[in-house]
């Protein structure tokens, strides 16, 4: 553990300036207004970026590059484990079953492959249990999507305490695996490398910079896109007997975590809401902050449209993937398959719990001095009034309002507005 953790890097995306043509597309879509275009190149403000991946989706030049763990880093470990997100099961069409996919991963060369879906079901039980015991402040918010956690820390810091203090399945699974495998194979814990097969690169941020523990239990993440072709090749030629048999281990509840509403499917409560997509997530969190959702017990927010099947590093079209996942959910059924006693044993020991609580990390204010900050707001208003308000983006800021802010923050010059230039010349 901790071998690959890179302490200086904070984000899971970078911009390839050789490819970026400065088209301002990503800047317009960024929900936290973290992107500016300077000298025809997009630049991401590290402080404001939440790794949602919106820019990855819209860039037509493929200039925004997701960062995942390199194969050199993976091979540093003696024993390599794959921990695929249940989204992987939805990527290969109708007739390919989970055990075939997991077997293919084994065949690629992973020493061990673990079905996260099983742990998803366990986590559902932990959520259920927690909800039964904690009702003072509602709604309780899911901790699964690392981008949502970050969004709350930055934009809705007062809601940090509503985040359920239960680790997401990938972390619990890795924690469990490391214990088991080191005993079973007599390995040192640090020689085991556990890698999440992920639909988004945001997971790598949560691995490198976990918010609720000192070190992540995972060692890295590979994208579904990176590993897709290799799996496909093995699936095509494979006639060998399966290396893995998980069919009677997992249920539709675990597989369901791949799509929006999946966490709720496993809950008894009917007062649960699921939301997906970055804009709808922001909207619902605004409502939560205004006290509008006090009657709701559990709120699942996933930053990607339709949930993780809509992750930016998936291969299958998300509508088809969703349909595949729904079919699997039906096939595997809604009956829980995990052992209650085993669950209770782990739950009581706090196996699922956060080590640390989620701490607020609000966006930087206009000024640390309150008087100055107030004056700056007034200044912004004055500047904004003089701007054309057509949000053309040519100045390099996403819209006129943000440009006015950038000017006041001393990050942009008034002359950058081509309309201002014209007015000035006329005078």
Whether 317 and 294 have beta carbons less than 8 Å apart is answered as: no
User: Is there binding between residue 256 and ligand SF4 (CB under 6 A)?
Assistant: no
- Could you write out the DSSP letters of every residue in 107-157? HHT-SEE--HHHHHHHHHHHHHHHHHH--SS--EE----HHHHHHHHHH-G
Least Cα distance to 33 among 21, 17, 23, 47 occurs for 47
Site for ligand SF4 (CB under 6 A): which residue of 311, 393, 396, 398?
Answer: 311
Whether 250 and 337 have beta carbons less than 8 Å apart is answered as: yes
CA torsion sign for 191, 192, 198, 203 is negative
User: Is there binding between residue 145 and ligand SF4 (CB under 6 A)?
Assistant: yes
Size of the site for another protein (CB under 8 A): 28
Site for ligand SF4 (CB under 6 A): which residue of 24, 177, 200, 338?
Answer: 200
- Count Cβ neighbours within 10 Å for each residue of 199-232 and write b for 16 or more, e otherwise: bbbbbbbbbbbbbbeeebbbbbbbbbbbbbeebe
Sheet holding 298-302, edge to edge: 140-141, 298-302, 272-276
- Count Cβ neighbours within 10 Å for each residue of 124-143 and write b for 16 or more, e otherwise: bbbbebbbeeeeeebbbbbb
Site for another protein (CB under 8 A): which residue of 47, 245, 286, 357?
Answer: 286
Of 279 and 292, which CB lies nearer to another protein in the complex structure? 292
Backbone φ and ψ for 111, nearest 5 degrees, come out as -70, -25
CA–CA separation, 232 vs 222, rounded Å? Answer: 16
Site for another protein (CB under 8 A): which residue of 21, 213, 366, 394?
Answer: 366
Q: How far is the CB of 225 from ligand SF4 (least distance, A)?
A: 12
Of 286 and 415, which CB lies nearer to another protein in the complex structure? 286
* Residue 147 contact partner, candidates ligand SF4, another protein, none, CB within 5 to 8 A by sort of partner: ligand SF4
Of 159 and 234, which CB lies nearer to ligand SF4 in the complex structure? 159
Q: How far is the CB of 34 from another protein (least distance, A)?
A: 15
User: Is there binding between residue 147 and ligand SF4 (CB under 6 A)?
Assistant: yes
Site for ligand SF4 (CB under 6 A): which residue of 26, 34, 126, 302?
Answer: 302
Six-digit token string for 423: 């007015």
Residue 25 CB partners (closer than 8 Å, separation 6+): 58, 59, 60
Of 103 and 144, which CB lies nearer to ligand SF4 in the complex structure? 144
Stretch touching ligand SF4 by CB under 6 A, among 24-32, 207-215, 304-312, 322-330: 304-312
* Residue 295 contact partner, candidates another protein, ligand SF4, none, CB within 5 to 8 A by sort of partner: another protein
Q: Which CB contacts under 8 angstroms, 24+ apart, belong to 278-282?
A: 278/31, 278/52, 278/54, 278/147, 278/151, 278/303, 279/31, 281/148, 281/151, 282/31, 282/151, 282/155
Whether 166 and 123 have beta carbons less than 8 Å apart is answered as: yes
Least Cα distance to 211 among 267, 262, 275, 144 occurs for 144
* Residue 241 contact partner, candidates another protein, ligand SF4, none, CB within 5 to 8 A by sort of partner: none
Helix, strand, or coil (residue 409) = coil
Site residues for another protein, window 46-75 (CB under 8 A)? none
User: Is there binding between residue 291 and another protein (CB under 8 A)?
Assistant: yes
The count of residues in the chain is 427
User: Is there binding between residue 1 and ligand SF4 (CB under 6 A)?
Assistant: no
* Residue 289 contact partner, candidates another protein, ligand SF4, none, CB within 5 to 8 A by sort of partner: another protein
Q: How far is the CB of 98 from ligand SF4 (least distance, A)?
A: 18
Binding mask 151-190 for ligand SF4 (x = CB under 6 A): ----------------------------------------
Least Cα distance to 398 among 26, 22, 17 occurs for 26
Of 241 and 291, which CB lies nearer to another protein in the complex structure? 291
Six-digit token string for 310: 């809509």
Of 100 and 260, which CB lies nearer to ligand SF4 in the complex structure? 260
Whether 78 and 216 have beta carbons less than 8 Å apart is answered as: no
CA–CA separation, 65 vs 107, rounded Å? Answer: 28
Q: How far is the CB of 386 from another protein (least distance, A)?
A: 18
User: Is there binding between residue 199 and ligand SF4 (CB under 6 A)?
Assistant: yes
User: Is there binding between residue 158 and another protein (CB under 8 A)?
Assistant: yes
Whether 198 and 224 have beta carbons less than 8 Å apart is answered as: yes
Give the DSSP letter of residue 179.
H
Site residues for another protein, window 388-407 (CB under 8 A)? 405
Binding mask 326-365 for another protein (x = CB under 8 A): ----------------------------------x-xxxx
Stretch touching ligand SF4 by CB under 6 A, among 98-106, 134-142, 199-207, 288-296: 199-207
Which spans of this chain sit near ligand SF4 (rule: CB under 6 A)?
145, 147, 199-200, 202, 302-304, 307-308, 311
Which spans of this chain sit near another protein (rule: CB under 8 A)?
155, 157-159, 286-287, 289-292, 295, 360, 362-368, 370-375, 377-378, 405
């Amino acid at each position: 553990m901790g071998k690959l953790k890179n302490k200086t890097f904070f984000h899971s995306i970078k911009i390839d300036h050789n490819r970026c043509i400065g088209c301002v597309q990503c800047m317009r879509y960024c929900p936290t207004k973290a992107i500016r275009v300077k000298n025809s190149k997009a630049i991401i403000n590290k402080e404001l970026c939440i790794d949602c991946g919106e820019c990855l989706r819209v860039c037509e030049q493929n200039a925004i590059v997701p960062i995942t763990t390199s194969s050199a880093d993976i091979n540093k470990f003696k024993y390599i484990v794959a921990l695929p997100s249940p989204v992987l099961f939805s990527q290969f069409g109708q007739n390919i079953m989970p055990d075939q996919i997991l077997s293919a991963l084994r065949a690629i060369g992973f020493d061990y492959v673990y079905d996260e879906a099983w742990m998803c079901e366990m986590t559902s039980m932990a959520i259920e249990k927690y909800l039964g015991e904690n009702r003072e402040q509602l709604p309780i918010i899911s901790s699964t999507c690392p981008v949502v956690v970050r969004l709350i820390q930055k934009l809705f810091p007062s809601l940090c305490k509503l985040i359920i203090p239960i680790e997401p399945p990938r972390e619990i699974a890795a924690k469990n695996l490391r214990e088991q495998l080191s005993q079973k194979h007599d390995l040192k814990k640090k020689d085991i490398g556990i890698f999440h097969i992920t639909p988004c690169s945001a997971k790598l941020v949560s691995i490198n910079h976990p918010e609720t523990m000192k070190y992540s239990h995972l060692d890295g993440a590979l994208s579904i896109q990176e590993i897709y072709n290799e799996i496909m090749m093995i699936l095509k030629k494979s006639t060998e007997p399966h290396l893995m048999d998980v069919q009677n281990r997992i249920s539709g509840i675990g597989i369901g975590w791949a799509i929006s509403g999946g966490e709720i499917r496993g809950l008894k409560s009917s007062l649960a809401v699921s939301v997906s997509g970055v804009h709808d997530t922001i909207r619902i969190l605004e409502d939560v902050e205004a006290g509008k959702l006090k009657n709701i017990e559990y709120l699942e927010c996933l930053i990607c449209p339709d949930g993780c099947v809509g992750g930016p590093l998936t291969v299958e079209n998300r509508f088809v993937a969703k349909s595949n996942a729904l079919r699997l959910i039906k096939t595997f059924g809604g009956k829980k398959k995990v052992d209650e006693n085993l669950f209770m044993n782990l739950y009581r020991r706090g196996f699922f719990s956060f080590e640390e609580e989620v701490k607020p990390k609000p966006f930087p204010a206009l000024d640390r001095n309150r008087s100055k900050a107030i004056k700056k707001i007034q200044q912004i208003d004055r500047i904004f009034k003089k701007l054309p308000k057509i949000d053309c983006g040519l100045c390099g800021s996403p819209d006129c309002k943000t440009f006015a802010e950038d000017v006041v923050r001393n990050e942009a010059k008034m002359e950058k507005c081509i309309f201002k230039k014209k007015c000035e010349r006329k005078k």
